[in-house]
């Protein structure tokens, strides 16, 4: 008879060995799956004929070396996602399978009579599951390393990836260990494999899911709620199954990246959490009654967490969905009602699933009422403004400074940030260093006037009774972020969609009108003439252009502009348009990619010179540039009105024509449309009275919410000049009638088509349309 | 020695074992009989350390079994509902047990492979019920346990294999002083195998004693008695009395000779003592506590 003496470690080792041996087929299958998803894809990718070219370009400074994703570029993006999914799925399957014995009466008899204590048994199963998943994974990583080394041998530019792979594998080890430990933790507390699956998934996804949903609810329901997309990565830290996604995306550039290191720190935290969980699992397992196998028993905290999370997630999601469908009520209150209804239904459904039927459901009614009640209270808080969240504006005394990601009408004048400087080399110019900069997207204000203007803007923007439909024809698509830095060092941020801000035109103008804002957003207040090579002056009609190169003249102009811009009252521009006589372009002295900055600076700029800029116009006169002081309307021999428009659209209520491209726009329109064509998109205007009407109404700057049309000017010789804009309602009826009705409808023109004449004291024109003549009432 | 005191086990309010006390001597074959749901399997699971008691304790050689790998290494519990690893063969199961039972004997296993008519390289899932049982018994005996707990172990075995198993168990007891606790509803089987019997009812041991004592303590008397007799008055402890005309069949608690004497003195023209089967003892005792056929049906 052969007899051996086994210590606890010996039994653990032998038990694990047996389990791993039985998992051989699974390992083989998993290994092949991983091979297809990872080393094969990687090999195909790096041996692609274009890959070497891109690698060479990256090495020469054209584009980045990030040809692949992941730490040290060893994964294609598709592979990263599929690899994560495959490993999580397989770990889940193997974990559930390893602990399935706990959920079978027959199996538990065999396992629990074995001469092994329960801790050893649980640990054996975790280790066996761990090896079953990690061995094929490590083998495939090794294969990738071998392929990488081969590639390196054929192309020395190919990066070394060994370190990244080892770090990846270590992270995977922690993640797989954590997932298996969570499954074990649940397995010892429940009676069936279904419950193990259900509650394991609960613990793996509940935290990211609840946080994600809550953030989205805040964004949808709380006006001004601010949560940076970048911060969503914190969600990925809350579960081991999302951790690797963040790990792969964070290590995109270099392993020394802060985000990458932060993710590694979270991996270490997860390792500690897992060890704690494992200790708790052992404690629970030692006390676990074997007889709960095959029952629907589960420990209360697990059930309560699951039911609460399920009710919350399901209830609020259905609430959001149904609040969109039914529009009889205010959307927010509709959301509350539907959420309460669906929370109750989902709660009951969860109980029926957990209790395998309606029996005993009565006992769950009271906790159910409390759960649904808590969700209802939460939703009501959201629907009513988040306990003052929406209306909270910090007192001026508490504010140290405020930042607004809004640079007003001159946001196209780019302020380069010196601290963001990066360099690169061009293979065509070896030895020359080029520079890149990011531009400033916000304005920092710390004067009482500036802060007060932002506070007023914040106050109105936060008002949920604001008329959101005002100004809805504007092309506002971005957001407005206000960040206060308080005296106590804390920050308060609000984020508004421009969709919500139709009615804050007045407040935005008031903000732009503050001296501090003006000084922060235009080169004339920050730069000197010596920073620029020349100033190019263009008249409004596009007939004249002048170049000013003398530093003294340029500086005089800048000084005059400063005075005029500070003196102008932008609030008076509300709902007003005007034709500024000229605009000036500041030409760079050095190309931006050769500019080595030691402070934030503008390298170019533009300014629209309004009729009210008396100082500037005076300097122009003194420089002999009389033709720019006033638009020379009399030189227009004919004009054409196009349905197109060329307004520069930024987030400011003050819209201006794109000064850098007026001539080009005129050229494009001139060549694109034929005035002779029926149903044309262009109307030729030669009649003096009609031209007089158009010139009196046309503009290149102003506050309008409607979409204008373009006017191109021609001189006596038939040469096109520049272009301006005109509101459709300001066009003479005879001009307007050329445009077919579908143009108006498609382009959303505000011309009233076939509406009641009683609204207007108008002349009547009959114009052609797709379905024959249509009566059109045009306001005079 | 297996010793249980005040042993209590309840499942969701149902008390399966209620303050049970018992002692099973080393080297004995203890037959555990009892009605359905009386707690036989529960007792075996408590002895093997699968269950943890709600009250009292069960010890083997003064050591708790639960979470005691060293002690459990000497115990093998063969459940009535057999479990084998998924898609495993008998050889693979042997490998599984050999990894944790230090006394596992491959020599014995090889010997049993010759004795039992099953293919140890075939998947157990393809086996018949009896073949699975044979495989389980082979594996159990190969682990060389000092305490073998058999729950309905002979269920599904053909008579030849039953005899083989009994012989093997007897051999192990003779060789290694193995203690066997066996439950079965086939009392005839236990009668041949056991030296001790315990009767379990509603979670309590009604009685336990050596099988010979048990049989000696009860007797069945057949007599011809023309008249009715009140047996209590004549000093006979009758557990069961059935009369057909003048022929009376009595199940009596007490020695056969003494009982025959009393019956004859009561006027029997003919009286003889008939040997009792364990089944008759079981039925008689169970009737004594109200668990009889009449009570169940009517």
Residue B184 belongs to a domain with what CATH number?
3.40.50.300
Q: Which of A4, A106, A108 sits opposite B102 (nearest CB)?
A: A4
Please give the residue range of the domain that contains residue B182. Answer: 2-202
- Whether residue B49 lies within 8 A of chain A, CB to CB, comes out as yes
Count CB neighbours of A297 within 10 A.
Answer: 17
Mean of the per-residue pLDDT values of chain A: 83
Q: What pLDDT is attached to residue B214?
A: 67
Question: Which residue in A109, A120, A191 has the most chain B C-beta atoms within 10 A of its own C-beta, making it the best mutation to test that interface?
Answer: A109
Domain assignment of residue B293, yes or no? yes
pLDDT band, very low/low/confident/very high, at A754 (cuts 50, 70, 90): very low
Question: Which residue in B83, B86, B181 has the most chain A C-beta atoms within 10 A of its own C-beta, making it the best mutation to test that interface?
Answer: B83
d(CA A664, CA A52): 40
* Residues of chain B contacting A108 with CB distance shorter than 8 Å: 50
Closest CA relative to residue A436, chosen from A455, A456, A417, A412: A417
What is the domain partition of chain A in residue ranges?
Answer: 8-191+231-292, 396-521
The DSSP 8-state label assigned to residue B185 in this structure reads S
pLDDT band, very low/low/confident/very high, at A735 (cuts 50, 70, 90): confident
- Judge if B194 and B221 occupy the same domain: no
Of B178, B202, B226, which residue constitutes the final position of a domain?
Answer: B202
d(CA A232, CA A216): 11
CB–CB of B224/B268 below 8 Å?
yes
Q: Which of B50, B85, B95 sits opposite A112 (nearest CB)?
A: B50
pLDDT band, very low/low/confident/very high, at A671 (cuts 50, 70, 90): confident
* CATH number of the domain where residue B290 is located: 3.30.70
- Whether residue B10 lies within 8 A of chain A, CB to CB, comes out as no
Of B153, B180, B202, which residue constitutes the final position of a domain?
Answer: B202
Q: In chain A, whose CA is at the least distance from the CA of B74?
A: A115
Lowest mean pLDDT among A237-251, A303-317, A519-533: A237-251
- Judge if B198 and B220 occupy the same domain: no
Q: Which of B51, B83, B107 sits opposite A290 (nearest CB)?
A: B51
- Judge if B87 and B121 occupy the same domain: yes
Tokens found for residue A205: 């996804």
- Judge if B198 and B222 occupy the same domain: no
What are A392-422's pLDDT values in tens digits?
899 999 999 999 988 888 888 899 999 888 8
Question: Which residue in B51, B77, B96, B100 has the most chain A C-beta atoms within 10 A of its own C-beta, making it the best mutation to test that interface?
Answer: B100
Domain assignment of residue B81, yes or no? yes
Q: Phi, psi (5° rounding) for residue A560?
A: -65, -40
- Whether residue B257 lies within 8 A of chain A, CB to CB, comes out as no
Q: What pLDDT is attached to residue A465?
A: 67
For A478, the 3-state DSSP assignment is coil
Q: What pLDDT is attached to residue A646?
A: 67
Q: In chain A, whose CA is at the least distance from the CA of B69?
A: A115
What are A569-607's pLDDT values in tens digits?
988 888 888 999 999 999 998 888 888 888 999 999 999
Chain A positions contacting chain B at CB under 8 Å are 1-6, 8, 11, 14-15, 17-18, 22, 104-110, 112-118, 120, 286-287, 289-291
Q: What pLDDT is attached to residue A229?
A: 66
* Residues of chain A contacting B109 with CB distance shorter than 8 Å: none
* Residues of chain A contacting B52 with CB distance shorter than 8 Å: 287, 289
CA A387 remoteness from chain centre? 27
Indicate if the pLDDT at residue A76 is higher than 80. Answer: no
Lowest mean pLDDT among A115-124, A198-207, A471-480, A516-525: A471-480
Q: In chain A, whose CA is at the least distance from the CA of B145?
A: A115
Q: What pLDDT is attached to residue A154?
A: 85
Bridge partners for A17 per DSSP: none
Q: What pLDDT is attached to residue B2?
A: 92
CB–CB of B138/B112 below 8 Å?
yes
pLDDT band, very low/low/confident/very high, at A678 (cuts 50, 70, 90): low
Total domains in chain B come to 2
Q: What pLDDT is attached to residue A778?
A: 38
Q: Give the count of Cβ contacts less than 8 A between chain A and B.
A: 84
**Average pLDDT over every residue of A277-300:** 88
Q: Which of B48, B67, B107 sits opposite A286 (nearest CB)?
A: B67
Q: What pLDDT is attached to residue A525?
A: 94
CA distance A274 to chain B (A): 24
Q: In chain A, whose CA is at the least distance from the CA of B97?
A: A114
pLDDT band, very low/low/confident/very high, at A7 (cuts 50, 70, 90): low
- Judge if B26 and B157 occupy the same domain: yes
Residuewise pLDDT in 10s, chain B (298 residues): 899 999 999 988 889 998 899 999 999 999 988 888 889 999 999 999 999 999 999 999 999 999 999 999 999 999 999 999 988 999 999 999 999 999 999 999 999 999 999 999 999 999 999 999 999 999 999 999 999 999 988 888 898 999 999 999 999 999 999 999 999 877 777 777 888 888 888 888 887 877 777 666 778 888 998 888 888 888 888 878 888 888 998 888 888 888 888 888 888 888 888 777 777 777 776 676 666 655 444 4
Got the DSSP string for A93-144? HHHHHHTGGGG-HHHHHHHHHSSS-HHHHHHHHHHHHHHHHHHHHHHHHHHH
Of B167, B202, B237, which residue constitutes the final position of a domain?
Answer: B202
Domain assignment of residue B211, yes or no? no
CA distance A10 to chain B (A): 9
Indicate if the pLDDT at residue A771 is higher than 50. Answer: no
Q: What pLDDT is attached to residue B233?
A: 84
- Contact criterion met (CB < 8 Å) for B50 and A290: yes
Q: What pLDDT is attached to residue A766?
A: 37
- Judge if B39 and B176 occupy the same domain: yes
- Judge if B237 and B195 occupy the same domain: no
- Whether residue B43 lies within 8 A of chain A, CB to CB, comes out as no
- Judge if B157 and B254 occupy the same domain: no
Q: A77-98 vs A240-250: helix axis angle to the nearest 10?
A: 160
**Average pLDDT over every residue of A233-261:** 78
Count CB neighbours of A659 within 10 A.
Answer: 20
* Residues of chain A contacting B69 with CB distance shorter than 8 Å: 8, 11, 115-117, 120
- Nearest 5°: CA angle at B104, between B101 and B109? 145
CA distance A292 to chain B (A): 9
CA terminus-to-terminus distance, chain B = 43
Strands of B2-11's sheet in order across: B14-24, B2-11, B55-60, B63-64
Domain assignment of residue B183, yes or no? yes
Indicate if the pLDDT at residue A128 is higher than 90. Answer: yes
What are B15-73's pLDDT values in tens digits?
999 889 999 999 999 998 888 888 999 999 999 999 999 999 999 999 999 999 999 99
Question: Which residue in A107, A114, A286, A293 has the most chain B C-beta atoms within 10 A of its own C-beta, making it the best mutation to test that interface?
Answer: A114
Determine which helix (DSSP H) or strand (DSSP E) holds B19, and give its type and residue range. Answer: strand B14-24
CA distance A11 to chain B (A): 6
Strands B147-151, B75-78: pairing is: parallel
d(CA B285, CA B289): 7
CA distance B67 to chain A (A): 5
- Nearest 5°: CA angle at A452, between A448 and A453? 120
- Judge if B140 and B170 occupy the same domain: yes
- Whether residue B123 lies within 8 A of chain A, CB to CB, comes out as no
- Judge if B241 and B284 occupy the same domain: yes
Q: What pLDDT is attached to residue A49?
A: 75
pLDDT band, very low/low/confident/very high, at A251 (cuts 50, 70, 90): low
Q: Taking the CA atoms of chain A, what radius of gyration do you get in angstroms?
A: 35
* Residues of chain A contacting B73 with CB distance shorter than 8 Å: 115
Question: Which residue in A98, A112, A115, A282 has the most chain B C-beta atoms within 10 A of its own C-beta, making it the best mutation to test that interface?
Answer: A115
d(CA B147, CA B177): 9
Indicate if the pLDDT at residue A320 is higher than 50. Answer: yes
Q: What pLDDT is attached to residue B251?
A: 83
Question: Which residue in A9, A99, A100, A110 has the most chain B C-beta atoms within 10 A of its own C-beta, making it the best mutation to test that interface?
Answer: A110
d(CA A407, CA B139): 82
Kindly list the distances between the CA atom of residue A199 and the CA atoms of A115, A184, A624, A728, in Å, as whole numbers in the listed order: 30, 11, 83, 63
Q: In chain B, whose CA is at the least distance from the CA of A117?
A: B67
pLDDT band, very low/low/confident/very high, at A768 (cuts 50, 70, 90): very low
d(CA A188, CA A286): 9
Q: Which of A14, A107, A112 sits opposite B100 (nearest CB)?
A: A14
- Judge if B123 and B180 occupy the same domain: yes
Q: What pLDDT is attached to residue A68?
A: 58
Count CB neighbours of B296 within 10 A.
Answer: 9
- Judge if B285 and B184 occupy the same domain: no
Tokens found for residue B274: 């008939």
Domain assignment of residue B208, yes or no? no
- Contact criterion met (CB < 8 Å) for A8 and B69: yes
């Amino acid at each position: 008879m052969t007899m051996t003496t086994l210590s606890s470690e010996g039994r653990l080792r032998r038990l694990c060995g047996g389990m791993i041996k039985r998992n051989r087929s699974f390992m083989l299958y998993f290994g092949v799956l991983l091979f297809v998803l990872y080393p094969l894809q990687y090999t195909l990718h790096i041996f692609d004929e274009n890959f070497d070219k891109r690698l060479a370009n990256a090495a020469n400074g054209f584009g980045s070396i990030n040809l692949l994703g992941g730490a040290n570029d060893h994964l294609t993006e598709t592979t990263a996602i599929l690899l994560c999914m495959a490993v999580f799925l397989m770990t889940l399957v193997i974990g559930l399978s390893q602990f399935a014995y706990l959920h079978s009466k027959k199996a538990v008899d065999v396992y629990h009579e074995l001469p092994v204590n329960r801790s050893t048994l649980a640990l054996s199963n975790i280790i066996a599951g761990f090896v079953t998943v990690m061995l094929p994974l490590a083998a495939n990583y090794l294969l990738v390393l071998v392929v990488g080394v081969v590639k390196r041998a054929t192309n020395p530019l190919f990066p070394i990836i060994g370190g990244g792979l080892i770090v990846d594998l270590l992270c995977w080890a922690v993640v797989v260990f954590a997932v298996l430990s969570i499954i074990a933790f649940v397995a010892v507390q429940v009676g069936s494999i279904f419950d193990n699956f259900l509650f394991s998934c609960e613990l793996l996804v509940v935290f990211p899911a609840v946080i994600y949903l809550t953030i989205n609810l805040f964004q949808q329901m709380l006006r001004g709620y601010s949560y940076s997309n970048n911060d969503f990565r914190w969600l990925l830290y809350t579960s081991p199954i999302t951790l690797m996604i963040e790990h792969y995306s964070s290590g995109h550039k270099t392993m020394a990246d802060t985000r990458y290191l932060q993710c590694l720190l979270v991996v270490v935290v997860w390792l500690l959490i897992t060890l704690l969980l494992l200790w708790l699992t052992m404690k629970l397992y030692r006390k676990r009654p074997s007889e709960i196998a095959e029952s629907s028993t589960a420990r209360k905290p697990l059930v309560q967490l699951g039911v609460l999370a399920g009710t919350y997630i399901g209830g609020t999601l259905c609430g959001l969905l149904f609040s969109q469908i039914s529009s009889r009520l205010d959307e927010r209150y509709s959301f509350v009602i539907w959420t309460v209804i669906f929370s109750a239904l989902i709660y009951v459904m969860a109980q029926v699933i957990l209790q395998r039927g309606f029996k005993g459901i009565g006992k769950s009614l009271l906790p159910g009422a409390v759960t649904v009640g808590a969700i209802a209270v939460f939703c009501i808080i959201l629907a009513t403004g988040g306990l003052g969240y929406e209306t909270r504006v910090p007192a001026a005394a508490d504010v140290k400074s405020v930042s607004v990601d809004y640079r007003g009408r001159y946001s196209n004048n780019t302020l380069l940030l010196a601290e963001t400087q990066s360099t690169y080399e061009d293979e065509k110019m070896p030895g020359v260093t080029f520079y890149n900069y990011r531009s400033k997207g916000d304005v920092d204000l710390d004067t009482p006037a500036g802060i007060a203007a932002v506070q007023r803007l914040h106050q109105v923007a936060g008002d949920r009774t604001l008329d959101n439909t005002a100004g809805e024809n504007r092309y506002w698509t971005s957001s407005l972020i206000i960040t206060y830095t308080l005296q106590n060092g804390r920050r308060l941020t609000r984020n508004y969609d421009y969709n919500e801000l139709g009615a804050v035109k007045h407040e935005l103008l008031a903000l732009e009108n503050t001296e501090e804002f003006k000084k922060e957003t235009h080169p004339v207040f920050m730069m000197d003439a010596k920073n620029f090579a020349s100033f190019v002056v263009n008249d409004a009609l596009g007939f004249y252009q002048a170049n000013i190169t003398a530093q003294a003249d340029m500086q005089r102009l800048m000084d005059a502009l400063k005075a005029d811009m500070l003196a102008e009252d932008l609030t008076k521009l509300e709902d007003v348009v005007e034709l500024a006589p000229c605009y000036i372009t500041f030409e760079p002295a050095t190309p931006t990619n050769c500019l080595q900055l030691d402070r934030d600076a503008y390298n170019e700029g533009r300014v629209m010179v309004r009729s009210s800029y008396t100082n500037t116009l005076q300097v122009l006169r003194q420089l002999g540039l009389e033709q720019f002081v006033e638009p020379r309307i009399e030189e227009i021999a004919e004009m054409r009105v196009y349905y197109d428009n060329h307004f520069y659209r930024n987030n400011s209520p003050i819209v201006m024509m794109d000064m850098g491209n007026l001539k080009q726009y005129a050229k494009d329109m001139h060549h694109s449309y034929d005035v002779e064509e029926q149903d044309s998109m262009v109307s030729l205007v030669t009649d003096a009275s009609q031209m007089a009407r158009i010139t009196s109404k046309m503009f290149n700057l102003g506050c309008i919410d409607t979409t204008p049309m373009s006017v191109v000017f021609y001189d006596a010789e038939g040469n096109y000049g520049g272009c301006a804009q005109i509101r459709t309602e300001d066009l003479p009826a005879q001009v307007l009638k050329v445009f077919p009705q579908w143009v108006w409808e498609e382009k959303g023109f505000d011309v009233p088509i076939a509406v009641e004449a009683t609204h207007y004291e108008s002349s009547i024109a009959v114009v052609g349309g797709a379905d024959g003549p249509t009566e059109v009432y045009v306001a005079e | 020695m297996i010793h249980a005191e005040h042993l209590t086990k309840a499942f969701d309010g149902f008390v399966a074992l209620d303050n049970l006390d018992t002692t099973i001597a080393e080297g004995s074959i203890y037959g555990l009989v009892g009605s359905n749901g009386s707690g036989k399997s529960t007792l075996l699971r408590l002895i093997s350390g699968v269950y943890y008691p709600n009250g009292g304790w069960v010890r083997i050689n003064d050591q708790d079994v639960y979470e005691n790998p060293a002690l459990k290494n000497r115990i093998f519990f063969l459940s009535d509902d057999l479990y084998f690893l998924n898609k495993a063969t008998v050889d693979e199961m042997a490998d599984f047990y050999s990894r944790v039972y230090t006394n596992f004997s491959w020599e014995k296993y090889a010997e049993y492979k010759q004795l039992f008519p099953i293919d140890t390289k075939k998947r157990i899932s393809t086996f018949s019920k009896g073949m699975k049982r044979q495989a389980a018994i082979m594996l159990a005996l190969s682990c060389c346990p000092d305490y073998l707990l058999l729950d309905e172990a002979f269920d599904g075995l053909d008579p030849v294999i039953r005899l083989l198993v009994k012989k093997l168990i007897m051999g192990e007891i003779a060789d290694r002083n193995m203690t066997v606790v066996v439950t079965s509803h086939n009392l005839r089987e236990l009668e041949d195998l056991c030296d001790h019997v315990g009767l379990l009812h509603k979670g309590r041991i009604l009685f336990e004693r050596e099988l010979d004592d048990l049989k000696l303590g009860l007797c069945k008397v057949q007599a011809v008695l023309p008249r009715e007799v009140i047996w209590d008055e004549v000093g006979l402890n009758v557990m069961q009395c059935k009369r057909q005309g003048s022929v009376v069949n009595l199940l009596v608690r007490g020695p056969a000779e003494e009982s025959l004497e009393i019956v004859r003195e009561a006027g029997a023209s003919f009286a003889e003592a008939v040997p009792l089967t364990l089944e008759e003892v079981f039925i008689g005792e169970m009737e004594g506590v109200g668990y009889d056929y009449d009570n169940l049906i009517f």
